[in-house]
Amino acid sequence: MSVKHAISRGVELGRSVFQLGLLKPAGRLAAKFRGERLRVGQPSRSVQPQTFLPARYRYYRMSLSGLAAQLQSGGFRRLIGGSPRNRVVFLAFGVGLGLIEQQLEDDRKSVAACQQIQALFKKKRFESPLKSFVSGYKLEDYVIGRQIGKGCNAAVYEAAAPFAVPRGEKCSLVELNSNTNSSDPTSPRFACPPSFPLAVKMMWNMGAGSSSEAILNSMSQELVPATPHALRQEKGELSLDGEFGWVPKTVAAHPNVIRVHRAFTADVPLLPGAEEEYPDVLPTRLNPLGMGNNRTLFLVMKNYPYTLRQYLEVSTPGRRTGTLMALQLLEGVDHLCRQGIAHRDLKSDNILMEFDLGGCPRLVITDFGCCLADQSCGLQLPYNSRWVSRGGNACLMAPEVATAKPGPGVTIDYSKADAWAVGTICYEIFGKQNPFYCPQGLEGRSYEERQLPELPANTPADMKLVVRLLLRRNPKKRPSARVAANMLHLSLWGRHALASLDKASLSKLADWLLCQSAYVLLKGRGPSGSSVEAELQRGFLSNLELEDLRTAVGFLLYGRELRFAVTL
């Protein structure tokens, strides 16, 4: 707003103040201010100005009634005398209110634009690329292939429907195909879609009993990413193998979170490699020395070619690709946090990968066995005893979790713990060893921020800033996954809009958001609409919130000011 326009607005506002409140009590004048807001600018029905007013103006807005009362009791009486000094003070007051109302008007327009964009893109829900199954609630409905993964509580095998098994492939419940080595990430199998489109995860049941209800209650966390039809429905109720059980909190579909398409219980079979790799967890009918139960839980998911760790062992992504990979992890974590779920075991082994048609890696978060998905406590876990589980991987446990001490009334806040873990994984993505994994690495409970190693020189500057912020020890100073993701979105696609933006105004950024929305909508009509970048852009636009966007802009501008000061 030009100086001439600001002064004219100030004079107009000053005249309104004089006419409205010269002879009225201070209380009535204050009420007039609150009710009509001086009748300047277009009224907004859904936006409260106090919420979106910048911090430096917030005090004056909140204390407007007090200022009005003081002006009436003192300044207005002196104004009648015609003192030039009082005229200047009154004019300055009007100009100040004009600037505040202009900022409020800009904020109202930005909020309205964000709300419209968010409503538009939220209608386009993500759908899994796998078609809905018509059956598959029994182990006999699948042909099991070779083992493709093993963890501390489960083994994963490739699978397919009987009619979809490739010709010439040998696969059965007891025979392992030896034609290709699935553990070698450089083999041709990792460069093309898997022969078996599905993966079956067999949980190891050591103490849950053999009833379906007991198994479901014990392993319910594994069902957090399940689809609505993952469990068989009988008479409108969910059941496992005919026995009713408790259904846990589930997460909505997202491009960067695994989906469980089927879940069922069955007798433990003798799968390929079982006697050699996990004999102790087999039931006694398969191994006399085994300690497992006869039945366990099976999960059917999409088969991804390899894990993030396997990919990074043979390849180092470039600057832009690495940023897109980190951004996908932040988007997945933000999606979980919005629904009150903390993964608590993020690591490169629990992140699966594939490539889109353009060759860009697509990452999905998997293995929810250690997650926090409690309907009653959300992301605030009561920690009144040391027997309460704090999560999985101790090496990548956020400082606020690692240093928590049990006691009455103690709670652990997991709202930013997974985002901290993403910050550590970014070191692996950009070609360095995870600083919290090294033999003499850092510890989450005691490290200092100055001890964090530098990322490689070819890492984008904004990416370095995001990692530094995510690894702050104090969670109050650490950005949320949403804010960190917004920073990378702006760095990737809003560089030109950000270059001409200051901290006080988002009007130019709102114009860029509208242009970006039109671009994404037009791009989504072609084959490229299913690409990783298109999915990320749609996710960004469907989660637009002014305060998160303003915080992300502030972090980026602050980081660039620091880099500019260092170069001087």
Query: Are residues 183 and 296 both part of a single domain?
Result: yes
Q: What is the mean pLDDT of residues 373-379?
A: 85
Rounded CA separation 255/262 (Å): 18
Q: What is the mean pLDDT of residues 331-354?
A: 95
Nearest to 158 by CA among 368, 363, 302, 355: 302
Above 70 in pLDDT, residue 326?
yes
- The radius of gyration of the chain from alpha carbons, rounded to an integer in Å, stands at 29
The contacts of residue 275 (CB under 8 Å, 6+ apart) are 282, 286, 287
Nearest to 61 by CA among 99, 28, 111, 4: 99
Question: How many domains in the chain?
Answer: 3
- Position 347 scores a pLDDT of 95
Residue 415 lies in a domain: yes
Residue 313 lies in a domain: no
**Of the residues 253, 278, 303, the one at which a domain ends:** 303
- Position 90 scores a pLDDT of 54
**Of the residues 122, 151, 172, the one at which a domain ends:** 122
Query: Are residues 160 and 299 both part of a single domain?
Result: yes
Q: How many residues does the chain have?
A: 568
Residue 475 lies in a domain: yes
Query: Are residues 199 and 159 both part of a single domain?
Result: yes
Rounded CA separation 68/76 (Å): 10
At 99, the pLDDT band (50, 70, 90 cuts) reads low
Strands annotated E in 119-259? 143-150, 154-160, 198-203, 232-234, 237-240, 243-244
Above 90 in pLDDT, residue 118?
no
173 burial type by CB count under 10 A (0-12 exposed, 13-18 middle, 19+ buried): middle
Q: What is the mean pLDDT of residues 548-554?
A: 89
Enter the DSSP assignment of 9: H
- Position 159 scores a pLDDT of 92
Residue 298 lies in a domain: yes
- Position 547 scores a pLDDT of 86
Q: What is the mean pLDDT of residues 234-260?
A: 70
Above 90 in pLDDT, residue 362?
yes
Percent of the chain with pLDDT over 90: 43
Above 90 in pLDDT, residue 518?
no
- Least trusted range by pLDDT, from 196-205, 233-242, 418-427, 448-457: 233-242
Rounded CA separation 424/468 (Å): 10
Residue 310 lies in a domain: no
- Position 222 scores a pLDDT of 92
Rounded CA separation 160/182 (Å): 16
Q: Pick the catalytic residue: 345, 367, 418, 462?
A: 345
- Position 564 scores a pLDDT of 64
CB 122 within 8 A of CB 178: no
pLDDT digits (tens, 9 = 90+) for 50-93: 444 455 444 444 444 445 445 545 544 554 555 555 555 555 55
Query: Are residues 40 and 97 both part of a single domain?
Result: yes
At 396, the pLDDT band (50, 70, 90 cuts) reads very high
Range of the domain at 339: 319-567
Residue 132 lies in a domain: no
Query: Are residues 396 and 445 both part of a single domain?
Result: yes
Above 90 in pLDDT, residue 401?
yes
Q: What is the mean pLDDT of residues 345-356?
A: 94
CATH of the domain at 276: 3.30.200.20
At 550, the pLDDT band (50, 70, 90 cuts) reads confident
Cut 0.85: pTM above it: no
Query: Are residues 176 and 79 both part of a single domain?
Result: no
Other C-beta atoms lying within 10 Å of the C-beta of residue 411: 13
Query: Are residues 91 and 156 both part of a single domain?
Result: no
Query: Are residues 251 and 327 both part of a single domain?
Result: no
Above 60 in pLDDT, residue 300?
yes
Above 50 in pLDDT, residue 29?
no
- Least trusted range by pLDDT, from 41-45, 202-206, 341-345, 422-426: 41-45
| Helix segments in 176-307, DSSP class H | 212-218, 274-277
- Position 379 scores a pLDDT of 92
Q: What is the mean pLDDT of residues 93-121?
A: 61
Other C-beta atoms lying within 10 Å of the C-beta of residue 292: 22
CB 47 within 8 A of CB 59: no
Above 80 in pLDDT, residue 135?
no
Measured in whole angstroms, the distance separating CA 141 from the mean position of its chain's CA atoms is: 35
Query: Are residues 47 and 177 both part of a single domain?
Result: no
At 193, the pLDDT band (50, 70, 90 cuts) reads very low
Q: Name the phi and psi angles at 494, rounded to 5.
A: -115, 30
- Position 127 scores a pLDDT of 59
Rounded CA separation 294/189 (Å): 34
Percent of the chain with pLDDT over 70: 65
- Position 250 scores a pLDDT of 86
**What b/e readout covers 330-365, taking b as 16+ CB neighbours within 10 angstroms?**
bbbbbbbbebbbbbbbbbbbbbbbbeeeeebbbbbb
Is residue 367 flagged as an active site residue?
no
- Position 15 scores a pLDDT of 56
At 209, the pLDDT band (50, 70, 90 cuts) reads confident
Rounded CA separation 87/75 (Å): 9
Query: Are residues 64 and 19 both part of a single domain?
Result: yes
- Position 56 scores a pLDDT of 46
CATH of the domain at 501: 1.10.510.10
- Position 38 scores a pLDDT of 41
Residue 13 lies in a domain: yes
Query: Are residues 413 and 541 both part of a single domain?
Result: yes
How confident is the prediction for the chain on average, in pLDDT? 77
Hey, which of 239-248, 319-328, 389-398 has the most confident mean pLDDT?
A: 319-328
Above 80 in pLDDT, residue 142?
yes
- Least trusted range by pLDDT, from 39-43, 311-315, 321-325, 381-385: 39-43
**Of the residues 270, 303, 336, the one at which a domain ends:** 303
Residue 249 lies in a domain: yes
Query: Are residues 190 and 43 both part of a single domain?
Result: no
